[in-house]
Amino acid sequence: METTEHRIRIVVNGDAYERTVPGRLLLSDFLRHELRLTGTHVGCEHGVCGACTILVDGAPARSCLMLAVQADGRAVTTVESLAPSETELSPLQAAFRKHHGLQCGFCTPGFLVTATAYLRDVEEVPSRREIAEALSGNICRCTGYTGIVDAVEEIAATARESVAAQGETHAV
């Protein structure tokens, strides 16, 4: 069968790349095999499990349901962008570790990216139920989800506290 190749320009975690890709190459496979960013995991390849979730122009998206060629001209954010350095964890990652929000770690990148977008966009401190619904597109087989919700809940609360504290400081 006939196939095509396409030249794409893509920014991933702030770095610009230019590559030639087959039309049918999935974005998940492009990130993992072409750019060696293997933090994004591939679970079901039909959009159900959420392990492949990345941000495309800031919005969470299933990288297994996008073609690499569709990401031409776009900015992609993957789990590798979360930690401030090789030796430090982001507050969200530290919270996952503290609350046992991961065991095998396979689903974790998808949860971290989904939670990052959610915590960025949520307007008020969410209830546990709201957090669970926001994360309902990510499946975990190990943890039973409680630790994951605990971690996101902690960050949601502390983010509000630090914003409130800044407000008080400025008022003084």
Which residues of the shown chain bind other proteins in the complex (CB under 8 A)? 1-4, 6, 23-24, 26, 29, 45-48, 50, 53, 56, 59-62, 64-67, 69-70, 114, 117-118, 133-134, 136-137
Give the total residue count for the chain.
172
Other CB atoms within 10 A of residue 39 CB: 18
Amino acid code (one letter) for 121: D
Query: Least distance in Å: CB of 54 to other proteins?
Result: 9
The residue (of 94 and 106) whose beta carbon lies closer to other proteins is 106
Which pair of tokens denotes residue 1? 């069968």
The residue (of 97 and 128) whose beta carbon lies closer to other proteins is 128
Other CB atoms within 10 A of residue 154 CB: 18
Which residue spans within 63-157 are E strands per DSSP?
75-77
Query: Least distance in Å: CB of 2 to other proteins?
Result: 5
The residue (of 27 and 151) whose beta carbon lies closer to other proteins is 27
Location of structure tokens 């297994």: 64
DSSP string, 117-144: HHHHH--SPPPHHHHHHHTTT---SSS-
The residue (of 39 and 60) whose beta carbon lies closer to other proteins is 60
